[in-house]
Amino acid sequence: MTISFRRPGFVCTDHVLDVPLDHAEPDGPKIEVFAREVVAPGREGDDLPWLVFLQGGPGNKAPRPGASPAAWLPRALKEYRVLLLDQRGTGRSTPATRQTLPEKAADHLRHFRADSIVRDAELFRRRLVGDRPWSVLGQSFGGFCAVTYLSLAPEGLREVFITGGLPSLTATPDEWYRTAYPRVLAANERYFARYPGDRDVAGRIARHLAEHDVRLPTGERLTARRFQTLGLGLGSSSRFDDLHYTLDEAFVGDGVLSDTFLQDVGATVSYAAQPLYALVHEACVCNGTVSDWSAERVRGEFPQLEAEPFSFVGEMIYPWFFEEDPALTPLRETAELLASHEWPALYDAERLAANTVPVAAAVYYDDMYVDRELSLETAASIPGVRTWVTSEYAHNGLSADARVLDRLIAMMRGEV
In this structure, which amino acid lies at residue 171?
A: A
Closest CA to 294 of 121, 166, 178: 178
Provide the pairing of β-strand 157-163 with 50-54: unpaired
Identify any residues that bridge with 35 across adjacent strands, giving them in sequence order. 15, 85
Assign 387 to helix, strand or coil: strand
Active site amino acids? 140, 367, 395
Assign 106 to helix, strand or coil: helix
Contact (CB, 8 A) for 190 and 274: no
CA dist 21 and 202 (Å) reads 44
Residue 344 gets which letter from DSSP?
Answer: P
Q: What are phi and psi of 415, to 5 degrees?
A: -90, -20
Angle at 413 between CA 407 and CA 416, to 5 degrees: 50
Identify any residues that bridge with 137 across adjacent strands, giving them in sequence order. 53, 161
Sign of CA dihedral 188, 189, 193, 199: positive
Residue 95 gets which letter from DSSP?
Answer: B
Question: What dihedral do alpha carbons 320, 325, 326, 332 form, nearest 10°?
Answer: -30
CA dist 2 and 206 (Å) reads 51
